[in-house]
Amino acid sequence: MKPNREVSETIPLRRRQVLAGLGRAGVATAISAAFPGEAQAAAKDEAEALVAKFMATFSAGGNTDEIVGLFSPDALFWGTAMADLGTDTEAIRRYFMNNFAGRPATGVRATAVTTSTIVLSETAVVIAGRWQTERADRPQPNALRYTFVLNKRGDRWFIANLHSSTRPTTAA
């Protein structure tokens, strides 16, 4: 294969060799090596703490401002019962106002069932897993799945993207 002359002239040889040699495993290694282990562990812990705060705030219900405040102003949001992607704070606010208003007096308990975390950088983390909500007026928990993309801006973590959907009851 003949190299692209334009790319060859703009990217130094050593960088081209490194990029060419990276496979899937190499990308993960490069990401891990890009910043120290302590910073990676701190990012993981801080992002997971934000997801735990989301679960607790969601379970407590009623405080729309508090839960909306966990999201970045430019967050993307697919709520479990949303027909369209929420692309602004007002869409997120409306979703949770409706969600909180429709709850029974006994409330809802949200629990993470499984969690997998990928630290992309000191300021970006992806967390995916299964969660469930339980209500006293329903015999079975609502089985759900989620993906959070969390972003640190300044000294604070925000939810940049949240997608929650009903979990299938059978394997595909």
Which residues does 115 contact at the CB level (< 8 Å), separation at least 6? 48, 51, 127, 128, 129
Q: Which is nearest to 74 in space by CA: 87, 57, 61, 91?
A: 87
Rounded to 5 degrees, φ, ψ at 34 are -70, -25
Task: Considering the chain, tell me which residue range(s) the CATH 3.10.450.50 domain(s) occupy.
Answer: 36-166
- Answer yes or no: are the C-beta atoms of 125 and 50 closer than 8 Å: no
- Predicted confidence (pLDDT) per residue in 22-33, tens digit: 554 454 555 555
Domain at 36-166: CATH architecture = Roll (3.10)
- Predicted confidence (pLDDT) per residue in 41-75, tens digit: 999 999 999 999 999 999 988 799 999 999 999 99
- Answer yes or no: are the C-beta atoms of 76 and 161 closer than 8 Å: yes
- Predicted confidence (pLDDT) per residue in 96-131, tens digit: 999 888 887 778 899 999 999 999 999 999 999 999
